[in-house]
């Protein structure tokens, strides 16, 4: 599936999803949304389940109910408490193809955000920040 504006997923999509590169395309996967395939979209918001890799050259937001079974290639990432990634988090420099990492490197990365924390990605690190709101 190809699109260039906004795509709201409230059901199940089987297949890969592509947003026009360099556009302001955004995919929003609701709590009931499921995607079984890879996602290559500049801006990604997930609160449902994704079974496949996510590639974003701008911004990824993983909300509280987000569950990813696959690798996440990001430039800037936001992870809210409760979100889960069963795969690698790979920082991709602007305009560069994502690098692959060895199993030893990826096993050192946190994949689940404990309750009460939120993570925010910067240039190449993912840092945890305590949230004061409940």
Pair of tokens at residue 95: 């305009």
Pair of tokens at residue 19: 């947003």
Q: How far does CA 90 lie from the centroid of its chain?
A: 10
The total domain count for the chain is: 1
- Dihedral of alpha carbons 109, 111, 112, 113, sign: positive
Separate counts of helices (H) and strands (E) for the chain: 1, 18
What is the bridge-based pairing of β-strands 54-55 and 39-40? parallel
Q: State pLDDT tens for residues 93-108.
A: 644 454 444 444 444 4
Which residues form the domain of 87?
2-130
Q: State pLDDT tens for residues 38-73.
A: 999 999 999 999 999 999 989 999 999 999 999 999
| Residue spans of beta strands (DSSP E) within 1-134 | 2-3, 6-9, 12-14, 17-19, 26-29, 34-36, 39-40, 43-46, 49-51, 54-55, 59-62, 67-69, 72-74, 76-79, 84-86, 89-91, 117-121, 126-130
Q: Could you tell me the pLDDT band of residue 87, with boundaries at 50, 70 and 90?
A: very high
Single pTM value for the model: 0.69
pLDDT for 128 beyond 50 = no
In the block, tokens 């590169």 appear at 21
Q: Could you tell me the pLDDT band of residue 78, with boundaries at 50, 70 and 90?
A: very high
């Amino acid at each position: 599936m190809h699109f260039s504006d906004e795509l709201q997923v409230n059901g199940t999509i089987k297949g890969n999803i592509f947003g026009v590169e360099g556009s302001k395309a955004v995919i929003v996967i609701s709590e009931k949304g499921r995607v079984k395939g890879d996602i290559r979209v500049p801006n990604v918001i997930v609160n449902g389940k994704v079974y496949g890799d996510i590639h974003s050259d701008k911004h990824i937001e993983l909300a509280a109910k987000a569950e990813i079974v696959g690798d996440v290639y990001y430039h800037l990432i936001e992870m809210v408490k409760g979100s889960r990634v069963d795969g690698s988090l790979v920082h991709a420099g602007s305009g560069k193809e994502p690098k692959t990492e060895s199993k030893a490197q990826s096993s050192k990365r946190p994949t689940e955000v404990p309750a009460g924390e939120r993570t925010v990605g910067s240039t190449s690190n993912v840092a945890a920040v305590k949230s004061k709101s409940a």
